[in-house]
Structure 1
């Protein structure tokens, strides 16, 4: 059956059944709602530093706060001297996203 015939039959359904069919198709085609970027950032931060703040470059726990850049806290590792933030070396590192916190 082609889509034109399906649409014809769809048009013959009562409005309530059209809506039910639409919801079923929506659930099938788009099973999960898009995840909020703020939730994703929060999840990355939580998993990454669950055992405490540590340098993402060398693993040292000897780190200190080192100002902010674009509303994001920066950290300085006292052992290797490198700086990082909570998204450094993550899958979304360097991307532009609407969440700044």
Structure 2
């Protein structure tokens, strides 16, 4: 599937307000995936941004009062559209592949 070209996705991370200021928190990949080349953030240091697991093209903030998951699903439909099934297959395949190397 990847050989056919990029698969669009909507990545989720958190902006957290701490006593040290705003920071980016991204816990996408577990520590066991680091040898596979994944971006792993193994330490939480208040006020210090974590490295994102991707390079965002655009960033959206969940509107106040909105359900975050519903908002993400709207973004997936908007940006992945007809490739949503490819996205789902890629994510499932990635999960299976990772489980072989991290279990």
| Same fold flag (TM > 0.5) | no
Greater Cα radius of gyration, structure 1 or 2:
1
Structure 1-normalised TM-score?
0.21
Structure 2-normalised TM-score?
0.20
Higher relative contact order (CA 8 A, sep 6+): 2
Task: Please state which structure has a larger fraction of its residues in strand.
Answer: 1
